[in-house]
């Protein structure tokens, strides 16, 4: 269950009676961003709600259950053209999120030192599904392969959110 090319997704699908990766492909060209808890990413920054044991609500369908098992990321560039362009995109996204994020920090002070990290996925890291929302039209979901590690990510830039 759940194989794309040479990648396997047994960890992702463990205990599930559905597959999240059908029809999806790797994306090693787009630059993505994710909020991380310090100025350098750790493997903890790429854990899904499912891996964290966080179940705020029972998923209503397979699509929700898949998103719960995936990692939310945002597309910031559709190709890597220059380091300056990446830094500009990260700062723009960090600035746009800062107001909402300031309210979040009031309730979760541990997030105060969060950064926005821009990165590329390397071959074999997993597959990406575009999952836009009302608040984030560029939202995607990463379904990590069984071999995913920090070596699967090439960091381009980080920027403090607040």
Residue 93: predicted pLDDT: 80
Residue 5: predicted pLDDT: 79
Q: What is the pLDDT of residues 111-153, one digit of tens each?
A: 677 888 999 999 999 999 999 988 888 999 999 999 999 999 9
Tokens of 78: 């559709």
Q: What is the pLDDT of residues 73-116, one digit of tens each?
A: 999 888 877 888 988 888 888 777 766 665 665 666 666 778 88
Residue 101: predicted pLDDT: 60
Residue 94: predicted pLDDT: 75
Domain residue spans of the chain: 25-46+71-160
Would the pTM count as exceeding 0.85?
yes
Is the CB of residue 46 less than 8 Å from the CB of residue 128?
no
Burial of 1 (0-12, 13-18, 19+ CB in 10 A): middle
Chain centroid to Cα 119, Å, comes to: 10
Residue 162: predicted pLDDT: 66
Q: What is the pLDDT of residues 8-55, one digit of tens each?
A: 999 999 988 889 999 999 999 999 999 898 889 999 999 998 998 876
């Amino acid at each position: 269950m759940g194989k794309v090319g040479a990648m396997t997704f047994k960890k992702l699908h463990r205990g599930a009676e559905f597959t999240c990766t059908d029809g999806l492909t790797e994306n090693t060209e787009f630059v993505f961003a994710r909020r991380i808890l310090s100025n350098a990413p750790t493997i903890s920054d790429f854990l899904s709600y499912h891996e964290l044991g966080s179940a705020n609500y029972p998923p209503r369908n397979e699509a929700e259950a898949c998103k719960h098992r995936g990692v939310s990321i945002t597309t910031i560039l559709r190709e890597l053209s220059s380091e300056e362009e990446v830094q500009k995109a990260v700062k723009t996204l960090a600035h746009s999120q800062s107001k909402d994020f300031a309210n979040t920090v009031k309730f979760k002070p541990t997030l105060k030192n969060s950064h926005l990290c821009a990165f590329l996925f390397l071959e074999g890291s997993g597959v990406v599904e575009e999952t836009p929302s009302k608040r984030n039209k560029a939202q995607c979901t990463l379904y990590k392969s069984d071999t995913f590690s920090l070596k699967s990510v090439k960091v381009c830039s980080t920027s403090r959110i607040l």
